[in-house]
Amino acid sequence: MPVFTRRLELTTEGENAVVDVTEMVQRLVSESGLRAGTATVFVPGSTAAVTTIEYEPGLVKDFPRMLQRVAPDEVPYEHQKTWHDGNGRSHVKASLVGPSLSVPFEEGRLTLGTWQQIVLMELDIRPRRRGLIVQITGE
C-alpha cells in the first residue's frame, strides 16, 4: 500500500489558538494522487492537539473555554512543581484532546461532514512554531 508523508509548518499565536488546516490536508491528499484511503494528521509535542470542529467564531471561542473549565489556570499542577515552565494545564488539555486524527478519503476528497474541519489547537502558553505530519495511505 502506498504511503505519502509530508510536513506542514505553521506558527500559532499561543494558548487557545485554533488553526483550520483542512485545506492544507486536502491539498496533500490531492497531491498524493491516491483516490481512496486514510489521511492521518499528527502534531509532535505534548502541548498541542488535533481534532475536528465546526470552524466558526462561536465554537472557536467555546472549545478553549470548555478546556479552561476542565484544566483551569489557577489550580496547582505537579508538572509546574517539577519544570517551573507555567504550562502544566497545557499538557493536561493536549492529552485530553489528543495529538492525532485519521480521516478517510474517497475519490481524492476527505470525507468530512459539511460543517466539520480539521484543526490544530495550540494549548501552550506562548506562540509556537508547529510542524504537522500528514501521512496518507491508500490506493
Could you report the per-residue pLDDT of 50-89, keeping only the tens digit for each? Answer: 999 999 999 999 999 999 999 999 999 999 999 999 999 9
What pLDDT band is residue 129 in, cutting at 50, 70 and 90?
Answer: very high
The predicted model gives 109-127 an average pLDDT of: 97
Q: Tell me: pLDDT of 128 over 90.
A: yes
Average pLDDT of the chain to the nearest whole number: 97
Q: What's the number of domains the chain is made of? A: 1
Per-residue pLDDT, 1: 80
Per-residue pLDDT, 66: 97
The predicted model gives 20-25 an average pLDDT of: 98
The residue type at 80: Q
Residue 18's CATH number: 2.60.120.460
Cα–Cα distance measured from residue 2 to residue 19, given in angstroms and rounded to the nearest whole number: 28
- Whole domain around residue 26: which residue ranges? 3-138
Cα–Cα distance measured from residue 52 to residue 120, given in angstroms and rounded to the nearest whole number: 9
C-alpha dist (Å) from residue 72 to 52, 90, 102, 111: 22, 10, 29, 34
Of the chain, the percentage scoring pLDDT greater than 70 comes to 100
Instruction: Output the pTM of the full model.
Output: 0.95
